[in-house]
Amino acid sequence: MQNIIRGSSGSSGISGRSELALFVTVVKVKVVVVEVVVVVVVVVVVVEVVVVEVVVVVVVVVVVVVVVVVVVVVVVVVVVVVVVVVVVVVVVVVVVVVVVVVVVVVVVVVVVVVMVMVVVVVVEVAVAVAVAIASLMVVQSGVIARTN
């Protein structure tokens, strides 16, 4: 500092008061430079903190979105599987009921047809027996009439 104030020859070309004023000015410039450096460092640190916070927020948002999408996909798959199972069960139950009803109807129809056939055969036999009895009575009455 002395070299700056006195010059390179070492002779005192500046008065004491001017020397003090110059020294104060240099100190003030150094303080301003330090303040600027501190402000720049603080700005850099704040920017880095903000960038880190933004990255953390983005990562959290991405994780939440992925979790929500996975949960929605799982719920949709479960609902689809449940609906498919219910539809299959309903279809199987309907098919079983239809088969049972068809079998019952076929059995009832077969039983009714057999009963009708039995009745028809019984009626035919009864008619044949009645005709045979009537024929025998006619023949017997004719035989009785001839013998008289």
pTM of the model: 0.45
Q: pLDDT for 100-113, tens place per residue?
A: 999 999 999 999 99
DSSP annotation of 15: -
pLDDT over threshold 90, residue 6: no
> Domain count of the chain?
1
The DSSP code for 10 is: -
Cα–Cα dist 113/3, whole Å: 138
Report yes or no: 16 and 2 within 8 Å, Cβ to Cβ: no
d(CA 130, CA 136) in angstroms, rounded, equals: 10
Considering the chain, what percentage of its residues have pLDDT values greater than 70?
84
Q: Three-class SS of residue 2? A: helix
| pLDDT of residue 97 exceeding 60 | yes
In this structure, the number of other CB atoms found within 10 A of the CB of residue 42 comes to 10
Q: State the residue range of the domain holding 71.
A: 2-147
